[in-house]
Structure 1
Amino acid sequence: MTDKPSKILIVEDDLALNQGLVLSLKNDSYTTLPVFSIKEAREQLANSIFDLIVLDVNLPDGNGLELCQEIRRRSAVPIIFLTANDMEMDVVVGLESGGDDYITKPFSLAILRARIAALLRRSLSESPDRIKIDAFTFDFDQMVFLKGEDELTLSKTEQKLLKLLLTNRGSTVTRALLLEKVWGDSMDFVDENALSVTIRRLRRKLEDNSSKPVYIQTVYGLGYTWAVK
């Protein structure tokens, strides 16, 4: 498992509160990215993968509940709502829209930090290096990959790409992000077709019919996703 700090997107239009959250979470060794509108949040979500989102409900260019529903159509990333709306029905609507937790303002930073830590622990415990999906067993620690009882031989590049898709299954991972995470510093020297070629190789090894993939699906104009069935 990686020791890389968890990355948190903060979507809050109140400048003082946003800055306070960044400072507080930095003290807990999280990496934070602060934005102040739905538009900025969408831009960041299109280009980066986050471990958790802190999301205000009332934003200047829209409703955080609707953004949450939009995110949920492609990702299971933990989401904590921040809002001044403290009626019971507001909490229910927030949770039903896909939020994992709901904190009303004013709130204790200590409580928020504790809830973030709890959600991240739960999220990480659900994403081990050993993943079983349908007939597949993917053990990235032991580098053993099975389809039923048949062992699959995957290159290091294929393993990196597969793990990134699996740990973000149900989410669209952009081509740019896949290139950055899989090829890293050498991406500037990688042929532009390298990603497409690696995806084709993975499909041939994993899919029953690589021309009609069930698991590794193309999201046209964006990237790829491991489809959640």
Structure 2
Amino acid sequence: MIYVVEDDKSIRNLIEYALSEKSYQVKTFADGLDIVDVVRENAPELIILDIMLPGKDGIEILNEIREFSDIPIILLTARTDEFDKVMGLESGADDYITKPFSVLELLSRVKAILRRSAKKDTDHINYNNISLNTKKRTVKVDGKLIDLTYKEFEMLLFLMNNIGNVITREDFLLKIWGYDYEGETRTVDVHIASLRSKLLDAGKLIKTVRNLGYKFGEI
């Protein structure tokens, strides 16, 4: 899914048509007032974001999104001032396109960004407001770093790699502890309780499946 945030209807429709013709799924927005909340709830693969928007400008939106996500963002600007381009890139934009632009240029930039993002995202798992980095072994909730133990991190990773699937206590013991753990399966419940607590409201995404184990996600 690609989000397009552009207040000019003709440009917005042009971008939507061009991307749809290349089989991209597209959702458009005429302003950026609610886009940060939308991204937090349902993150896209890419955002095409106009700088000059009514109510809240693109740079402000970019800064807010970067507080909790590294989703690729391409800035659109009618300005030719080098300051705006530098400002956008320093705020975390992945690329920028100056209006007027050709459709072929836009499609080329989108394709390149998504290709780079696909390689980079092998280290990231994002769901709802949780962002997990397997390479850095970090977890963020709403952009805030959460301190997890080794086993808590591994349990969350196991859950996020199996969204919607039931993971039994025995599965956890074999996967996380690495062998047929001879202790009680109660140890899994203790670690899950701690993990839920540290994830705050996002801990509700870990569901208890009675007599079996746990599953992750909004089902």
The one-letter amino acid paired with 1:118 is A
Counterpart Cα distance in 1 of 2:39 and 2:198: 19
The alignment's TM-score, normalised by the length of structure 1, stands at 0.60
Q: Are residues 1:93 and 2:87 paired? A: yes
Is 1:102 the counterpart of 2:96 in the alignment?
yes
Alignment correspondent of 2:127: none
Alignment of structure 1 residues 136-147 onto 2, 5 Å? none
Q: For 2:14 and 2:121, locate their aligned partners in 1 and report how far apart those are by CA, in whole Å.
A: 30
| Equivalent in 107, 111, 116 of residue 117 of structure 1 | 111
Residue identity over aligned pairs, in percent, reads 32
Alignment-derived partner of residue 162 in structure 1: 160
Encode CA deviations 1:21-60: one digit per residue, 9 max, x unaligned: 1110001111111011112313421321200000000111
> Cα–Cα, structure 1 residues 24 and 219, in superposed 2: closer, same or farther, change >3 Å?
farther
Conserved 8 A contact 2:52-2:58: yes
**Equivalent position of 2:21 in the other structure:** 27
Task: In structure 2, list runs of 5 or more residues that go unmatched.
Answer: 125-132, 139-148, 178-189, 206-219
Change beyond 3 A, Cα 1:134–1:50: closer
Q: Does 1:183 align with 2:181?
A: no
Cα RMSD for the two superposed structures = 4.0
SS at match of 1:38: coil
* Aligned length in residues: 168
Q: Is the 8 A contact 2:123 2:135 kept in 1?
A: no
One-letter amino acid matched to 1:183: G
Match of 2:7 among 9, 13, 27: 13
Summarize deviations over 1:59-107 as a string: whole Å, max 9, x none. 1111110110100010010000001111111110010111111111111
- 2:135 is matched with 133
Contact persistence 2:59–2:88 (CA under 8 A): yes
- What is the identity, as a one-letter code, of the residue corresponding to 1:63? D
